[in-house]
A and B are shown apart, each in its own frame.
Chain A
Amino acid sequence: MSAAITTNQQQDRKAASRRQAIAMMFGCTILGAAGQILIKLGANTLTHTTSPLAMLTNLPVFSGYVLYGLMTVLFVFAIRDEELSILYPVISLTYVWVAGLSAMVFHESLGWLRIAGVATIMAGVGVLGRDGKK
């Protein structure tokens, strides 16, 4: 009886930690996509220079990389104790956000080839992740 309760508690804890890891990974996709949009926003104003200093002092580019740094920290916490096979498909959501935001912010037209391509890449990332145990 008490053994059964302990097992239930362990399962509950495992499920909770899994939900937490997936939520953190979801946060990573938002941070990553936002960072990407900021970098592109800044890069659009850097068309006449190739100077690394100009990039570093460009506020949108810099902020984009700060978001990237935050994403990396969150990523490390998310993968610490959850299987990559569960987290990989989540991270590929970034492609969806970037495509959607590119259409909204930069008025890019998403043709069916781009949508099919992104969907195929996401499927590929999902399949890759099936191999990862930890």
Chain B
Amino acid sequence: MALVLAASFIGSFGAVFLKAGSGKLHLGLRYLFFNYRLAAGVALFLGSSYFFVLGVRHGELSVLYPMVSLGYVWTLIWSRLFFGEPVTRNKLAGLSLILLGILLVGLGAH
């Protein structure tokens, strides 16, 4: 379970780099290749998939898959920190529900 949660953490950083890279996006494949932010984003997603597979080797998918939704929580924190996006009451309400759901699913694990 810890591995899957770690995967969601790494994956959320992947999204940060993709977002940072997409702002600097120029047309043409050549530029896409040399955009190190995008490359870092993709690399982080690959790294997160590695941890995800390690994590789901043992344990039940109906418990582990919902854990990925912790990524929403990380993403909100990074969006606030790195891109200055506002944290609205709506977002906080959504995140609280997601965290509560993760807790319930975790409690439901054997």
Contact = CB atoms under 8 A, between A and B. Distances in A.
B54 A98 contact: no
B61 A120 contact: no
B53 A39 contact: yes
A103 to B, nearest CB: 7
A108 B62 contact: yes
B25 interface: no
A99 B68 CA distance: 13
Contacts of A119: 101
Secondary structure call for the A interface: helix
Interface string A91-127: 0000100110011001010111110111111111111
Contacts, number: 120
Contact of A47 (B57, B62, B90, B95): B57
Contacts of B53: 39, 42-43, 46, 55, 61
A117 B101 contact: yes
* SS of B interface (majority): helix
A24 B65 CA distance: 22
A117 B64 CA distance: 12
A18 interface: no
B104 A39 contact: no
A50 B55 CA distance: 10
B50 A55 contact: yes
Interface centre among B52, B65, B105 (most CB of A within 10 A): B65
Interface of A: 36-37, 39-40, 42-44, 46-47, 50, 52, 55, 61, 65, 95, 98-99, 102-103, 106, 108, 110-114, 116-131
Interface of B: 49-50, 52-54, 56-58, 60-63, 65-66, 69, 72, 88, 90-91, 93-108
5 contacts: A98-B62, A103-B62, A112-B108, A114-B105, A125-B72
